[in-house]
């Protein structure tokens, strides 16, 4: 596994990838400590595509990512993470609606847990999932980061309306 650090408006992001695709994007704040595995090798040149697409996202000119992904998780987690990719830029959905989207309408708590274990935040937009009443609930990168990402997307979403 190779890794790099990518500077961003929400702080330094630790990106890790294997031969298949991007496996992790660790945020600087929140409940998970940002740290490369000791077996990983730093290789900044291996992340030019990730760095470029994140720069475009943070500049407000990219609404979707086109990167090979290789997140590790259970089949249910992978279904949830796949559903997150369908949430449009600048919009939000609830845990309950996501549970329906993955075919498990009574599993909103399990969706919340899978959302919290998303290893590739921002690119797999778990920040777009909110409480049923629209409230901002937990976020692995901290609520301030979630608020920032949602405000950033809201401020640029009108630029892409058709």
Residues making up the chain, counted from first to last: 162
* Phi, psi values for residue 81, rounded to 5°: -60, -35
Choice among 126, 129, 149, 150 that is catalytic: 126
109 burial via Cβ count (<10 Å: 0-12, 13-18, 19+): exposed
The closest of 64, 95, 65, 63 to 80, measured between CA atoms, is 95
Q: Is 126 a catalytic residue?
A: yes
Strand partners, 14: 5, 26
What backbone torsions phi and psi does residue 24 show, to the nearest 5 degrees? -150, 150
Catalytic residues: 126
């Amino acid at each position: 596994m190779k890794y790099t650090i990518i500077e961003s408006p929400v702080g330094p992001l630790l990106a890790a990838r294997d031969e298949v695709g991007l496996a992790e994007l660790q945020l600087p704040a929140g409940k998970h400590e940002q740290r490369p595995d000791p077996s990983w090798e730093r290789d900044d040149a291996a992340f030019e595509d990730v760095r470029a697409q994140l720069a475009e996202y943070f500049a407000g000119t990219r609404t979707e990512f086109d990167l090979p992904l290789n997140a590790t998780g259970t089949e249910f987690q992978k279904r949830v993470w796949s559903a997150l990719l369908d949430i449009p830029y600048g919009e939000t959905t609830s845990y309950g609606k996501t549970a329906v989207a993955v075919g498990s309408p009574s599993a909103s708590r399990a969706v919340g847990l899978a959302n919290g274990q998303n290893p590739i935040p921002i690119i797999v937009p778990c920040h777009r999932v909110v409480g049923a009443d629209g409230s901002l609930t937990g976020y692995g990168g901290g609520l301030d980061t979630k608020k920032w990402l949602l405000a950033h997307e809201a401020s640029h979403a009108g630029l892409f309306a058709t």
